[in-house]
Amino acid sequence: MQGNCAGRPQLSRNKANSSSRMRWTLKPHQDESQCRALEEALKVDPLVAELLLQRGIGTFEDARKFFRPRLSDLHDPFSMKDMERAVERIETAISDKENILVYGDYDVDGTTSVALLSSFLLETYPNVATYIPDRYTEGYGVSYQGIDYASDNAIGLIIALDCGVKAVAQVAYANDKGIDFIICDHHRPGEVLPAAVAVLDPKRDDCQYPYKELCGCGVGFKLAQALAQRQGRGVAELIPYLDLVATAIGADIVPMTGENRILTQFGLERINTRPRPGLQALIAQTKKEVLSSTDVVFLIAPRINAAGRMKHGLQAVELLTEANPDRAMVLAAEIETFNTERRGLDQEITEEALLQIRENEEEKRFTSVVFKEHWHKGVIGIVASRLTETYYRPTLVFTKSGEKLAASARSVKGFDVYEALEGCADYIEQFGGHKYAAGLTLSESQYELFKARFEEVVSATIDPSLLVPEIQVDALIRLDQITPRLMRIIKQFAPFGPGNPNPVFMAEHLRDTGAGRTVGQEGKHLKLSVVQETSAPIGAIGFNLGDKLGLVAGGKHFSAVFSLDENEWNGTVSLQLKLKDLR
Q: How far is CA 442 from CA 401, 431, 445, in A?
A: 10, 9, 8
Least Cα distance to 145 among 132, 157, 156, 154 occurs for: 132
Range of the domain at 91: 77-334
According to the model, what pLDDT value does residue 9 have?
40
The answer to whether residue 396 is domain-embedded is: yes
| Per-residue model confidence as pLDDT tens digits over 321-358 | 999 999 999 999 999 999 999 999 999 999 999 999 99
Number of domains in the chain: 3
According to the model, what pLDDT value does residue 17 have?
34
Q: Answer yes or no: is pLDDT of 125 > 80.
A: yes
The answer to whether residue 350 is domain-embedded is: no
**CATH (domain of 386):** 3.10.310.30
User: Are 121 and 152 within one domain?
Assistant: yes
- For the ranges 17-21, 99-103, 326-330, which has the lowest average pLDDT? 17-21
Residues shown for the chain: 583
- Between CA 500 and CA 494 the distance in angstroms is 8
Q: Answer yes or no: is pLDDT of 238 > 80.
A: yes
What predicted TM-score, i.e. pTM, was given to this entire model?
Answer: 0.90
The answer to whether residue 457 is domain-embedded is: yes
The answer to whether residue 70 is domain-embedded is: no
User: Are 184 and 253 within one domain?
Assistant: yes
According to the model, what pLDDT value does residue 12 have?
35
The answer to whether residue 353 is domain-embedded is: no
User: Are 478 and 454 within one domain?
Assistant: no
Q: How far is CA 373 from CA 112, 309, 397, 423, 449, in A?
A: 31, 17, 11, 25, 17
User: Are 108 and 241 within one domain?
Assistant: yes
User: Are 258 and 146 within one domain?
Assistant: yes
Comparison of pLDDT for 361 and 57, the residue scoring more: 57
**CATH (domain of 172):** 3.90.1640.30
User: Are 311 and 395 within one domain?
Assistant: no
| Per-residue model confidence as pLDDT tens digits over 278-319 | 999 999 999 888 999 999 999 999 999 999 888 899 999 999
User: Are 421 and 439 within one domain?
Assistant: yes
User: Are 94 and 231 within one domain?
Assistant: yes
User: Are 431 and 476 within one domain?
Assistant: no
Domain boundary among 441, 467, 493: 467
Element (H, E) at 580: strand 572-582
According to the model, what pLDDT value does residue 430 have?
86
The answer to whether residue 405 is domain-embedded is: yes
C-alpha of 408 from chain center: 16
Model confidence at 362, pLDDT cuts 50, 70, 90, reads: low
